[in-house]
């Protein structure tokens, strides 16, 4: 057992930047975001919740559209027969949490609006314990109340948030009420127009998190950028004063490192560590234990370095090729938003069956089960925030909202070895306000995490009939260039790819983050007949041949693993409100193109790629 407490001179700046951004994220949330909730002492509030569908927001506004003092959050019961109360959670319908409302009740399939959730619970209060209520996600705006008191509001449908309820909780008959509104707004993130279903509700787990009065709020333990044998990071205690002692242990490696907190509860961490490095072939995870005198928290963390070298993406010092597929957070067989470990295991197993070592989790942060399972299964991850298509670039609140979602994503997942890329945008139109908006996001991400690569799914344009150019101005701020292209579907016929050349102006790794074509499983015909499996197969064959000719190509994530619901796809008998670009149907059936990509990935694997 070796004990090290050497202070690393480089750490002060790194921690100062983290501290100020941590404050930014916290400011947009009433209190700091607690990380590694799966590793904590929790009481699940999952299960049946009573709900009230409220399209006119009668539970929030009076007839003058002024916020009411006696809204549904009061959960008022009539005290006498003459009392006039026009709602009653306890005799209202129930929905399952976690779960979107659209796939649980046919009447709500297309519903966009407000829906109220109520959950009653008892809780035995304890000395020197604090209590938080934690939400894995709620789409899109959540107003949260406990026992009639407002706890706060969260905006953003795909990232976690929590509120402290220590002073408000009672031993008996607590009622937690959440107003969830998934109405789309022009100034929101995403904005009005998306090609995915706007599933509403408490789409991920809800839990009570019990912690000691001083607890480990957040931490980062990763290899220092550019190092293969030095761990660097921090531990943040909540409720601590200066001089609190913390131990960071990796028992399997016989490492125990002692640090102390500064006045803000922060402790810098930096120590040498000769560890088995995480790779897709050997996704080694170590149990890491962070303990204070009266508390300990453990996590399973993989250690790997990810970097670029010219046009190469380098994992633990070795160039890699990302054999990927794009995935939406939808449970194909059950329908609706995916949230469980089973959902994640099914999606990632299908990706591995394809021969993938990489997945693009599009277009928003997926649930924590997905990235923790990717850690275990050895699948590298592209994580993204929904800055999608044409956002309001000049709107400062929109920027803050995007920054907050990015901050919450990074705070939740920056100890996940599988996550190698943060993406700040998808198919956004080049303009100065847009460039500034994305640059700000890129800077925010770099300040929160220096160890991972920054990218975005950008577009390309034609220099002439046959030359495609990738020269998005934001590319200069990115580590890896992402590009979506639909040669053979939105852009010409499949064979068009044969005559195209690619001009990539920057010497950086390129990932073709989308290509593909729609096909209805079981629909067959000539390869020039759209919507058939033969057409989709043909697109893949021409695409793969074309992409092989791009010198700086270091990865791809074709669009998409499975068919998924989209309100933009009404074509009867074929789409029926599904985007059919999946290689697997919504019933789990593999289309012909699935095997084309699988064969290509097998070839790459035999070439050691």
What is the 3-state composition of the chain as percent helix, strand, coil, each rounded to the nearest 5?
20, 35, 45
Residue 142 vs 483, nearer CB to ligand GCU = 483
Selection from 473, 414, 407 nearest residue 444 by Cα: 407
The nearest distance, CB 22 to ligand GCU, in angstroms, is 31
Residue 485 vs 541, nearer CB to ligand GCU = 485
Phi, psi of 385 (to 5 degrees): -110, 150
When asked if residue 426 is in the footprint of ligand GCU (CB under 6 A), the reply is: yes
Within positions 321 to 380, which residues make up the interface with ligand GCU, using CB under 6 A? 363
Within positions 288 to 317, which residues make up the interface with ligand GCU, using CB under 6 A? none
Q: Which two tokens stand for residue 540?
A: 């893949």
Residue 102 vs 579, nearer CB to ligand GCU = 579
Token pair 């920057």 in the structure block, residue: 506
The nearest distance, CB 518 to ligand GCU, in angstroms, is 7
Residue 121 vs 389, nearer CB to ligand GCU = 389
List the beta bridge partners of residue 52: 116
- For 27-31, the CB contacts below 8 A with 24+ separation are 28/400, 28/403, 28/404, 28/407, 29/152, 29/154, 29/161, 29/162, 29/404, 29/408, 30/151, 30/152, 30/163, 31/132, 31/162, 31/163, 31/164
State the CB neighbour count (10 A cutoff) for residue 260.
13
The nearest distance, CB 498 to ligand GCU, in angstroms, is 22
The nearest distance, CB 419 to ligand GCU, in angstroms, is 20
When asked if residue 414 is in the footprint of ligand GCU (CB under 6 A), the reply is: no
Q: Which residues contact 604 (CB under 8 A, 6 or more apart)?
A: 321, 323, 355
- Distance in angstroms (rounded) separating the CA atoms of residues 439 and 416: 24
The nearest distance, CB 434 to ligand GCU, in angstroms, is 16
Report the b/e string of 104-138 with b at 16+ CB within 10 A. beeebbebeebbbbbbbeeeeeeeeebbbbbbbbb
- Pick from 29, 182, 270, 579: which binds ligand GCU (CB under 6 A)? 579
State the CB neighbour count (10 A cutoff) for residue 264.
15
- Pick from 559, 578, 594, 600: which binds ligand GCU (CB under 6 A)? 559
Residue 441 vs 457, nearer CB to ligand GCU = 457
The nearest distance, CB 68 to ligand GCU, in angstroms, is 39
Selection from 463, 539, 541, 456 nearest residue 502 by Cα: 463
Burial class for 478, CB neighbours closer than 10 Å (0-12, 13-18, 19+): buried
Residue 118 vs 542, nearer CB to ligand GCU = 542
Over the window 481 to 510, marking each residue x when it contacts ligand GCU by CB under 6 A and - when it does not, the resulting string is ---x--------------------------
**Rounded to the nearest 5 degrees, what angle is found at the Cα of 381, between the Cα atoms of 375 and 385?**
125
The nearest distance, CB 579 to ligand GCU, in angstroms, is 5
Residue 223 vs 560, nearer CB to ligand GCU = 560
Over the window 467 to 486, marking each residue x when it contacts ligand GCU by CB under 6 A and - when it does not, the resulting string is -----------------x--
Selection from 348, 408, 412 nearest residue 380 by Cα: 348
CB 173 within 8 A of CB 150: no
Residue 222 vs 428, nearer CB to ligand GCU = 428
**Rounded to the nearest 5 degrees, what angle is found at the Cα of 150, between the Cα atoms of 149 and 155?**
160
Over the window 73 to 112, marking each residue x when it contacts ligand GCU by CB under 6 A and - when it does not, the resulting string is ----------------------------------------
When asked if residue 581 is in the footprint of ligand GCU (CB under 6 A), the reply is: yes
The nearest distance, CB 195 to ligand GCU, in angstroms, is 4
Residue 290 vs 483, nearer CB to ligand GCU = 483
- Pick from 514, 533, 534, 538: which binds ligand GCU (CB under 6 A)? 514
The nearest distance, CB 95 to ligand GCU, in angstroms, is 27
Residue nearest to ligand GCU as judged by C-beta position: 195
The nearest distance, CB 124 to ligand GCU, in angstroms, is 47
- Distance in angstroms (rounded) separating the CA atoms of residues 86 and 524: 55
Residue 140 vs 559, nearer CB to ligand GCU = 559
* Secondary structure letter of residue 491 according to DSSP: B
- How many residues bind ligand GCU (CB under 6 A)? The answer is 9
The nearest distance, CB 180 to ligand GCU, in angstroms, is 24
Residue 98 vs 336, nearer CB to ligand GCU = 336
**Beta strands of 251-379 (E only): which ranges?**
255-260, 266-272, 286-292, 295-301, 306-309, 312-315, 318-320, 322-328, 358-362
Within positions 178 to 207, which residues make up the interface with ligand GCU, using CB under 6 A? 195
Residue 33 vs 500, nearer CB to ligand GCU = 500
Cα dihedral 332/335/341/346 (nearest 10): -10
- Chain residues that interact with ligand GCU, rule: CB under 6 A: 195, 363, 426-427, 484, 514, 559, 579, 581
């Amino acid at each position: 057992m070796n004990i090290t407490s050497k202070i690393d001179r480089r750490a002060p700046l790194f921690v100062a930047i983290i501290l100020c951004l941590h404050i930014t994220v916290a400011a947009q949330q009433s209190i700091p975001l607690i990380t590694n909730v799966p590793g904590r002492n929790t009481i699940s509030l999952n299960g049946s919740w009573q709900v009230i569908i409220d399209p006119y927001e009668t539970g929030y506004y009076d007839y003058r559209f002024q916020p009411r003092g006696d809204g549904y959050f009061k959960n008022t019961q009539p005290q006498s027969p003459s009392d006039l109360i026009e709602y009653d959670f306890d005799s209202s319908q129930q929905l399952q949490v976690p779960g979107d409302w659209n796939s649980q009740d046919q009447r709500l399939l297309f519903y966009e609006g407000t829906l109220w959730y109520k959950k009653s619970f008892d809780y035995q209060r304890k000395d020197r314990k604090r209590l938080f209520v934690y939400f894995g996600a709620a789409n899109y705006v959540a107003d949260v109340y406990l026992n009639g008191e407002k706890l706060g509001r969260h905006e953003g449908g795909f990232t976690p948030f929590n509120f402290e309820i220590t002073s408000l909780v009672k031993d008996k008959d607590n009622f937690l009420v959440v107003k969830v509104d998934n109405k789309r707004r022009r100034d929101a993130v995403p904005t009005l127009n998306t090609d995915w279903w706007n599933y509403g509700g408490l789409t991920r787990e809800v839990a009570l998190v019990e912690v000691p009065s001083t607890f480990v709020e957040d931490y980062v333990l990763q290899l220092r950028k550019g190092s293969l044998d030095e761990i660097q990071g921090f531990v943040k205690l909540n409720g601590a004063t200066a001089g609190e002692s913390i131990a960071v242990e990796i028992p399997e490696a016989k490492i125990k490192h002692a640090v102390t907190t500064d006045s803000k509860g922060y402790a810098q961490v930096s120590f040498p560590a000769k560890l088995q490095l995480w790779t897709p072939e050997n996704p080694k995870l170590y149990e890491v234990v962070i303990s204070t005198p009266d508390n300990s928290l453990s996590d399973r963390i993989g250690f790997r370095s990810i970097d670029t070298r010219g046009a190469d993406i380098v994992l633990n010092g070795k160039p890699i090729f990302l054999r990927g597929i794009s995935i939406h957070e939808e449970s194909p067989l059950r329908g609706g938003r995916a949230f469980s470990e089973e959902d994640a295991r099914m999606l990632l197993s299908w990706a591995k069956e394809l021969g993938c070592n990489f997945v693009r989790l599009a277009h928003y942060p997926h649930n924590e089960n997905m990235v923790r399972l990717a850690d275990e299964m050895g699948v590298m991850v592209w994580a993204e925030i929904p800055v999608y298509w044409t956002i309001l670039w000049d709107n400062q609140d929109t920027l803050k909202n995007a920054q907050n979602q990015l901050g919450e994503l990074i705070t939740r997942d920056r100890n996940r070895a599988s996550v190698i890329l943060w993406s700040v945008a998808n198919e956004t139109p080049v303009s100065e306000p847009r460039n500034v908006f994305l640059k700000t996001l890129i800077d925010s991400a770099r300040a929160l995490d220096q160890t991972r690569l920054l990218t975005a799914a950008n577009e390309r344009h034609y220099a002439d009939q046959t030359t495609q150019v990738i020269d998005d101005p934001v590319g200069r701020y990115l580590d890896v260039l992402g590009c979506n292209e639909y040669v053979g579907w939105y852009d010409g016929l499949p064979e068009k790819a044969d005559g195209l050349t690619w001009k990539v102006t920057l010497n950086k790794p390129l990932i073709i983050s989308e290509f593909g074509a729609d096909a209805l499983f079981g629909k067959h015909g000539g390869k020039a007949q759209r919507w058939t499996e033969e057409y989709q197969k043909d697109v893949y064959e021409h695409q793969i041949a074309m992409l092989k000719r791009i010198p700086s190509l270091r990865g791809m994530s074709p669009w998409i693993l499975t068919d998924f619901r989209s309100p933009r796809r009404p074509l009867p008998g074929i789409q029926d409100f599904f985007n059919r670009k999946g290689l697997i149907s919504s019933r789990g059936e593999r289309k012909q193109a699935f095997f084309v990509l699988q064969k290509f990935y097998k070839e790459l694997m035999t070439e050691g790629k």
